Structure 1
Amino acid sequence: MADRYKEASDMAKGRPFIPAHELQKREQDRIRLPFRHLVDPQDPYYYDISLHLEMQRRAGVEIDQTIADNAVKYIHWKHQNAKDGEAKRREFEAKQAQEAKREIETWQARREAAERWKTSDGIVYYILRGPLIKIGTTTRPRSRFDTLMPDAVLAIEPGDKDLERLRHTEFASLRDPNVGREYFTPGSDLLDLIRRLREEGGVPHIPHASLISREAAELAVKELLAL
């Protein structure tokens, strides 16, 4: 009966239950192992080292200090290797969990973007003109881009004037005062948003007039976003 209560207590605390007779046997074996003069009894792996030496003794190996020292090195290496393996396993599992979380977040973002496209008549666009990025909005992107003649259309998202104002406020610190309120320098936060929009909605393919060739535009986008 006492063992049952002990088992329930150990299981509740996350410890493996070891019956009393097994503990007693282990203690008897520990006392019988004749290696205290060769191995430090305070070694955290003393019991495993002693068992290792006992197995060698039963196999006919004459146990001396050199054999004992090698056993200490081996058992310590074995435990350290197990710890390293466990650490790598936990690191791998954590990495897998982070990747799964990113996939879920990307899927949710794409779903939300799809819902916004259903209810939006216009877009907020991010176009490259020389060294700057223009953030604007339109309900007729093809004619608008023919007028603006951007080097490249970097990204688009469903939205209207309200979202445009929000983006202008969000990246106000990047605004170029010498050009206009809709032109921004390519700071890291703005580029991160553009990359995310391209990942969620794909690369925009809206035909438009431009002052540079398609090859030059593709190279400019590649260098800007480090693709």
Structure 2
Amino acid sequence: MGDAPDADLERPRVDVLYYLRYADRIKIGTSGDPRRRLAAIRHDELLAFERGGRELERARHAQFATSRLGGEWFADDVALMRHVRALESADPWRSYDRWVAASLVALC
């Protein structure tokens, strides 16, 4: 057992909510393949990841509905940023990699 998963292993799907900043707006979306998804979305900064799928995304959209600008975009307001700061890690990708690794271990 090494530090990195075997390249031949299929990566498990780990759904995450992502919080992206573009100018003065925040996008709350979800993906099972965040590297590909974020590469397709114009953004200035990845703020945070939160583990979860569509159900959690709907809950967060409802939670911050008063800040909704349209679609998955929200105003950069105090409540939303407080939530994002609570999720923040030094490197959101590191959190994602940990979640993927834990899912791989669970498959063994």
State the TM-score, normalizing by the size of structure 2. 0.70
Mapping 1:43-122, distance limit 5 Å: 121-122=14-15
RMSD: 1.6
State the TM-score, normalizing by the size of structure 1. 0.34
Amino acid at match of 1:181: G
- In the other structure, the counterpart of 1:78 is none
- In the other structure, the counterpart of 2:74 is 184
**Structure with greater proportional strand content:** 2
Provide, for residues 182-224 of structure 1, a one-character-per-residue CA deviation record: whole Å limited to 9, x for no partner.
Answer: 10001111000110001xx443248xxxxxxxxxxxxxxxxxx
Q: Give distance in 2, aligned partners of 1:123 and 1:130.
A: 22
Q: Does 1:140 align with 2:33?
A: yes
Rg larger in structure: 1
Amino acid at match of 2:80: L
- In the other structure, the counterpart of 1:196 is 86
Unaligned runs of 5+ in 1: 1-119, 207-227
The CA deviation at 1:150 is: 1.3
Secondary structure of 1:153's counterpart equals strand
**Structure with greater proportional helix content:** 1
Q: Percent identical across equivalent pairs? A: 37
Aligned residues: 82
Q: Give distance in 1, aligned partners of 2:51 and 2:93.
A: 15
User: Which one of the candidate residues 55, 64, 68 is aligned to 1:162?
Assistant: 55
Amino acid at match of 1:196: A
- In the other structure, the counterpart of 2:45 is 152
The CA deviation at 1:181 is: 1.9
8 A contact 1:154–1:203 mirrored in 2: no
Amino acid at match of 2:72: E
Provide, for residues 64-93 of structure 1, a one-character-per-residue CA deviation record: whole Å limited to 9, x for no partner.
Answer: xxxxxxxxxxxxxxxxxxxxxxxxxxxxxx
Amino acid at match of 2:32: T
* Higher RCO (CA-CA < 8 Å; seq separation 6+): 2
